[in-house]
Structure 1
Amino acid sequence: MHRFSVGAHVKLAIVGGGPAGLYLSILLKRQDPSHDIAVYERNPEGSTYGWGVTYWAGLLDKLRAGDPESADSVAEASVTWTDGVAIVRDQRTVHRGDAGFGIGRRRMLGLLADRARELGVRVEFEHDITGPDAPELADADLVVAADGVNSVLREAHADRFGPTVAHGRNHYIWLGTTKVFDSFSFAFKETEHGWIWCYAYGFSGERSTCVVECSPETWTGLGLDTRGEADSLNLLEKLFHDLLDGHELIGRDRADAAAQWLTFRTLTNRAWHHGNLVLLGDAAHTTHYSIGAGTTLALEDALALADALRDHTDLDAALTTYGKRRRAELVSAQSAARYSAQWYENLPRYMNLPPAHMFALLGQRHSPLLPHIPPQLYYRLDRAADHLQPLRRLKRWLGPHLARATHSRH
């Protein structure tokens, strides 16, 4: 039986140096500086996939409660926006919203790694852990699989964790741009092969993220399935010229290679721990990128796991509590992500609306009601519900009932 207690010599091995793994090491070192904690990351320091990540103010409050120093560093390195902007065909519309934040993924990882080292964590880059039998894990009291959606530690015990993967229909590509956006921006372009669209947001004073998405029919119709990266970026720059204002898109600098188009994988696991091995972040769950919650949910995993280890001296009880808590807390986010992905997969249903109405329903894409009500009628009901208390009550009542009914069919 593994036990955790203040002052006891506890050895922890965290496999994966993403935001969740690094932040967990910070939290656990703060709880007890005597813990022996190592983070093993297979990639070189400073190399990371993706461009920027998004989060909202509520996350900063949680991070400050866990470790004020790293939270302040992340906040200072972030950019913020309040407006949403959409270009539909060639018409522009603006929506006022809550403040959102963006930070470069590489910048965030650098800040968290520096803070972890400052507290005494061993952060070892270019150190690949190839499986649960690795010697670095042999005498660890706790092994944390924070090694992403393709987790080798999870897959070695797939029968115990019970992973399930659902593949999305649409194709997407994760790009950067030299255009610095001061609002969360969308562009929807109609081609002879169907719609293609882009989400864009700033994450520094020099760069922004652009995620381009389209249906399989549009992807093949435009030849994006066969074009090299340079040719693909050239076509996308022309399609989204009014969004980019003449700025370039940035890929992987592999002009002759195929562009890295993906389909999204939604991962869930039946169990989150096996023995002294526990899942964290994308190794445990993924939610569609269109709700912008991946990094937030991973950091919340770290907070919940640290809480459970603090509150329970028995490791199995701690890990059981952590898994139950996070699976329950993820239900609403996973539901929102599922409906959001489906909204985009059924995009043509909404594109004949006036652009302002379409953009309003874009903001409502998490609603379980929306797929079952004609879009223009839903828009009118939603506007009316802002003024009529009975309709607001009906909307609140119908939403959970339809969500449960739909969830039971999946």
Structure 2
Amino acid sequence: MKIVCVGAGPAGLYFAISAKRSDPSRDITVLERDPQGATYGWGVVYWDDMLDLLYVNDPESGRALRRASTLWKDQEIHVSGGVAHLGGYGFAMQRAEFLETLVDRARRLGVTVEYDHPVEDLTPFADADLIVAADGAGSRTRQLHGDHFGTRVETGANPYIWLGTDMVFPSFVFAFEKTPAGWLWFHAYPSSGTVSTCIVECTETTWRALGMDERDEDDGIRLLAQIFERSLQGHSLISQSRGEPARWLRFKEVSNRTWWHDNVVLIGDAAHTTHFTIGSGTRLAVIDAVELVRSLDDFPGDLAAALRDFDHRARPNLERVQRHARGSMNWYEHADDYLDGRDAVDAAYAMATRNSPPSSMRERVFRAEQLRPARLVQGAVDTAQRLILAARRGELPFVPSWHPGPPPAGREQARDIALARERAAR
């Protein structure tokens, strides 16, 4: 089977790895329009459910990614100097290193990965059995098929900018600061031992009142660093990532009526996007890759049946995730209403319940969890859970793994990854 994968992001590379590992006879080429190493953005964040899937589907790349990841503990909410806590933990790493790890694994499996290779026309791939469109939210491959996919793109209201900082946060930090122009906030997490990812967001009204639409890059970054000086503890914000300056964006939610047409299938951001405030983009890209390979394995020799199966199973789950992400995006688009007149604990509770109805009991529990003894207990529980899951995956060399040996193929593999997939789809 000859497969051309357009786009060397997480979805395209992990699909190539999974497909080649499942059937080494597959001839797979990944084409990327940008030069190798040129990636916009700083870090990716993920949780145990994605690690579970990585370790079951391809333990070698799972171990490599985990080794390169940074562990963060607790979630802190800073509101004009006050601090509240949400608990929990997760993992993060530099996006460039994440992709380089996958490229290395794919090439060692026999996948061809070519850079500086933009795809504007599918005619050169007429001999390909399958074309996988993994070329992002603005997918050119998807656009070449007109409206066959039933694409819908909705643009969010808030401007945001994806930055780095030399402040290495030990926790996942949400910082909200009030200015005369309105509220601004950032989402930050450590993505290596030397830098953190820092996504700054605000309403359109605040953005314009601060003159961000007219300031040059350096002036705008300096102003943001001043606004967030308290949470950054005097550290700087960094705009340049691999030579490219960050730019203000508006989030684009992409959805499609179907994810396949003829021998072309959409995965990752080409098929769907979810707002960055729920941190699911990379995880969902990996799930798409694994699910597509599962369908190809389950329907050998019948591409249409395989793509129909993939679309039938994967798309409905994603629609539920998008509804959740849409609710989160809506909360931040009206964040000023939830922040004015509230202290850190009140604001943190409003943020924590943004996708669920609040209740007096839940609020009392939340407030109790702000006490240091309760946080210490929760931290111990989180650590125990993390170690149990790490042992099950085989991360701990001195503890037998719950999943020995390579993962089985086909429907048996589907059963093994079901729990991780279902958790990630919620």
TM-score range, shorter chain: 0.7 to 0.9
- The aligned residue for residue 141 of structure 2 is 153
User: Does 1:228 find its partner at 2:216?
Assistant: yes
- For 2:72, give the aligned amino acid: W
Q: TM-score, normalised by structure 2?
A: 0.83
User: Does 1:59 find its partner at 2:50?
Assistant: yes
Match of 1:103 among 68, 75, 93: 93
SS at match of 2:176: strand
8 Å CA contact 1:227, 1:259 repeated in 2: no
Separation in structure 1 between the aligned mates of residue 354 and residue 74 of structure 2, nearest angstrom: 18
8 Å CA contact 1:335, 1:366 repeated in 2: no
User: Does 1:71 find its partner at 2:62?
Assistant: yes
Separation in structure 1 between the aligned mates of residue 38 and residue 241 of structure 2, nearest angstrom: 14
Residue-by-residue CA offset, 1:160-188 (whole Å, 9 max, x unaligned): 10100111111100001111111000111
- For 2:32, give the aligned amino acid: E
SS at match of 2:87: strand
SS at match of 1:266: strand
Shift of residue 348 of structure 1?
Answer: 2.1
Q: Return 5+ residue gaps in structure 1 as ranges.
A: 1-9, 370-377, 387-410
Separation in structure 1 between the aligned mates of residue 214 and residue 364 of structure 2, nearest angstrom: 47
- The aligned residue for residue 383 of structure 2 is none
Alignment of 1:282-361 (within 5 A): 282-313=269-300, 314-351=302-339, 352-361=341-350
SS at match of 2:73: strand
- For 1:353, give the aligned amino acid: R
1:38/1:254 CA distance change after superposition, 3 Å = closer
SS at match of 1:187: strand
Match of 1:190 among 178, 202, 206: 178
User: Does 1:33 find its partner at 2:24?
Assistant: yes
- The aligned residue for residue 380 of structure 1 is 360
Residue-by-residue CA offset, 1:199-246 (whole Å, 9 max, x unaligned): 110110011100000011100000111101100000000000011111
Separation in structure 2 between the aligned mates of residue 205 and residue 258 of structure 1, nearest angstrom: 22
Alignment of 1:153-172 (within 5 A): 153-172=141-160
Residue-by-residue CA offset, 1:366-389 (whole Å, 9 max, x unaligned): 22x3xxxxxxxx352533699xxx
- CA RMSD in angstroms comes to 1.8
Identity, in percent, stands at: 47
Separation in structure 1 between the aligned mates of residue 303 and residue 133 of structure 2, nearest angstrom: 16
8 Å CA contact 2:163, 2:246 repeated in 1: no
User: Does 1:249 find its partner at 2:229?
Assistant: no
Q: Return 5+ residue gaps in structure 2 as ranges.
A: 367-426
Separation in structure 2 between the aligned mates of residue 361 and residue 383 of structure 1, nearest angstrom: 10
SS at match of 1:131: coil
User: Does 1:262 find its partner at 2:242?
Assistant: no
8 Å CA contact 1:16, 1:145 repeated in 2: yes
Shift of residue 253 of structure 1?
Answer: 7.5
Q: How many residues align?
A: 364
Tell me: higher relative CO, structure 1 or 2? Use CA pairs within 8 A at least 6 residues apart.
2
1:241/1:78 CA distance change after superposition, 3 Å = same
Separation in structure 1 between the aligned mates of residue 114 and residue 99 of structure 2, nearest angstrom: 13
- For 1:203, give the aligned amino acid: S
Shift of residue 353 of structure 1?
Answer: 2.8
Q: TM-score, normalised by structure 1?
A: 0.86
Match of 1:364 among 325, 332, 353: 353
8 Å CA contact 1:85, 1:95 repeated in 2: yes
- For 1:176, give the aligned amino acid: G
Separation in structure 1 between the aligned mates of residue 90 and residue 67 of structure 2, nearest angstrom: 14
SS at match of 1:85: strand
Separation in structure 1 between the aligned mates of residue 332 and residue 14 of structure 2, nearest angstrom: 32
Separation in structure 1 between the aligned mates of residue 55 and residue 318 of structure 2, nearest angstrom: 21
1:33/1:266 CA distance change after superposition, 3 Å = same
Separation in structure 2 between the aligned mates of residue 204 and residue 223 of structure 1, nearest angstrom: 32
8 Å CA contact 1:273, 1:279 repeated in 2: yes
User: Does 1:117 find its partner at 2:104?
Assistant: no
Match of 1:177 among 151, 154, 165: 165
Alignment of 1:180-219 (within 5 A): 180-219=168-207
Match of 2:12 among 21, 24, 33: 21
